[in-house]
């Protein structure tokens, strides 16, 4: 499948870069977030948030480019070459477009999943902010700590019930 070529910098934060035919520069970062589960778990050191950034001088209002999502999917697969890696994804709800956003993300994820990855979705109601946060855990099916990670995620997010 056609995609853009990308560069990779292996640092504390894993960074990938690519440029599109419309001269848009993308940076995909995977930043460690082991503190979410607590450093006592050996696998928490493989826990990351990802971010997609555009360089400041990237042109605005470029046409839809299907190769971008294919390239980012390929970067995801490359990031998961280490089968212990974990991604925690949070869907932004501040603009009220989260349901469409969740469906788009799910559809995209399923296009490159091919049963290789496990995604567990959960949500947290924040009554003080009057909002719901949608969170997903993504790991490889053959992650050696799979059961422990799933249990910890479900305990963490699923156990989140406010006092009645």
Partner 1 sequence: METKKKLSKEERERILKIVRQSATNYRETNSILDKILPEIPQSNSLINQ
CA distance 149 to 76: 19
Q: How far is the CB of 69 from partner 1 (least distance, A)?
A: 5
Closer residue to partner 1, CB minimum distance, 27 or 83? 27
Taking the CB of residue 26, how many other CB atoms lie within 10 A of it? 20
Q: How far is the CB of 142 from partner 1 (least distance, A)?
A: 25
Question: Strand, helix or coil at 31?
Answer: strand
Packing angle, helices 98-113 and 66-79, rounded to 10 = 60
Bridge partners, 69 (sequence order): none
Closer residue to partner 1, CB minimum distance, 82 or 111? 111
Closer residue to partner 1, CB minimum distance, 51 or 144? 51
Residue 15 tokens read as 């960074």
Q: How far is the CB of 36 from partner 1 (least distance, A)?
A: 6
Q: How far is the CB of 73 from partner 1 (least distance, A)?
A: 10
Contact positions vs partner 1 (CB under 8 A): 33, 35-36, 49-54, 64-66, 68-69, 72, 88-94, 97, 99-101, 103-105, 107-108, 124, 126, 128-129, 133, 135, 155-163
Which own/partner pairs from 38-42 qualify as long-range (CB within 8 Å, at least 24 positions apart)?
41/148, 41/152, 42/145
Query: What are the distances in angstroms from CA 124 to CA 25, 44, 59, 78, 91?
Result: 34, 21, 36, 30, 11
DSSP state of 92: -
Q: How far is the CB of 125 from partner 1 (least distance, A)?
A: 10
Closer residue to partner 1, CB minimum distance, 35 or 40? 35
Closer residue to partner 1, CB minimum distance, 111 or 142? 111
């Amino acid at each position: 499948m056609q995609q853009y070529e990308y560069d990779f910098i292996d640092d504390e934060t894993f960074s990938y870069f690519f440029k599109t035919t419309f001269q848009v520069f993308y940076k995909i970062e995977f930043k460690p977030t082991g503190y979410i589960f607590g450093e006592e778990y050996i696998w928490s050191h493989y826990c990351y948030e990802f971010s997609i950034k555009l360089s400041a001088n990237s042109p605005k209002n470029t046409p839809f480019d299907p190769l971008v999502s294919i390239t980012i999917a390929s970067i995801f697969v490359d990031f998961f070459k280490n089968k212990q890696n974990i991604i925690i994804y949070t869907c932004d709800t501040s603009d009220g477009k989260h349901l469409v956003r969740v469906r788009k993300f799910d559809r995209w994820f399923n296009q490159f999943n091919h049963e290789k990855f496990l995604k567990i979705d959960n949500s947290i109601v924040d009554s003080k902010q009057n909002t719901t946060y949608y969170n997903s855990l993504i790991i490889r099916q053959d992650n050696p700590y799979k059961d422990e990670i799933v249990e910890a995620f479900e305990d963490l997010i699923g156990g989140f019930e406010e006092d009645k």
